[in-house]
Copies of this chain bind each other. A is one copy, B any other.
Amino acid sequence: MSQRLDTAAAAAMLANADRIHILTHASPDGDTLGCGFALCRALRQLGKQAQVLCPDAVPAKFSYMLLPDQDFEPAFYCSVDVASPHLLGRYEPLAEKVVLAIDHHANRTDFGENLLLKDYGAAAMLIFELLQEMAVTIDADIAACLYTGLSTDTGCFKYTNTSPLTHRMAAQLMELGAPAGMINREMFDTKSRARLALEREALASMQFAFGDRCAVMALPLSVQQAVGADEGDMDGIAPLPRQIEGVWVGITLREKESGTYKVSVRTDEHIDAAAVCARLGGGGHARAAGCTVTASLTDATAQLLDAVVAVVPEIAL
Select which of B155, B174, B196 is within 8 A of A203 by beta carbon. Answer: B196
**CB pair A190 B158 closer than 8 Å:** no
Alpha-carbon distance between A245 and B157 when the two chains are bound, in angstroms? 23
Which of A14-22, A25-33, A76-84, A180-188 lines the interface with chain B? A180-188
The number of chain A residues with a CB under 8 A from chain B is 39
Residues in chain B near residue A239, CB distance under 8 A:
189
Interface string of A219-245 (1 = CB under 8 A from B): 000000000000000000001001111
Q: Is the interface of A mostly helix, strand, loop or mixed?
A: helix
Q: Counting chain B CB atoms within 10 Å of each CB, which of A158, A206, A242 scores highest?
A: A158
How many copies of this chain are found per oligomer?
A: 2
Asked whether A172 is an interface residue with its Cβ less than 8 Å from the other chain, the reply is yes
Question: A165, A191, A192 — which one has the most chain B CB atoms within 10 A of its CB?
Answer: A191
- A57 within 8 Å of B (CB atoms): no
Question: Is B181 within 8 A of A159, CB to CB?
Answer: yes
- Contact (A171, B160) CB under 8 Å given A190-B245, A199-B203: no
A156 within 8 A of B: yes
Contact indicator B156/A164 (Cβ below 8 Å): no
Determine if A175 is an interface residue (Cβ-Cβ < 8 Å).
yes
Q: Residues of A with Cβ closer than 8 Å to B? A: 155-160, 162-165, 167-168, 170-172, 174-175, 180-181, 184-185, 188-193, 196, 199-200, 203-204, 206, 239, 242-245, 268
19 contacts between A and B (CB under 8 A): A156-B156, A156-B158, A158-B188, A158-B189, A162-B180, A163-B174, A164-B175, A167-B168, A167-B170, A168-B171, A189-B242, A190-B244, A191-B244, A191-B245, A193-B244, A193-B245, A196-B203, A200-B204, A203-B203
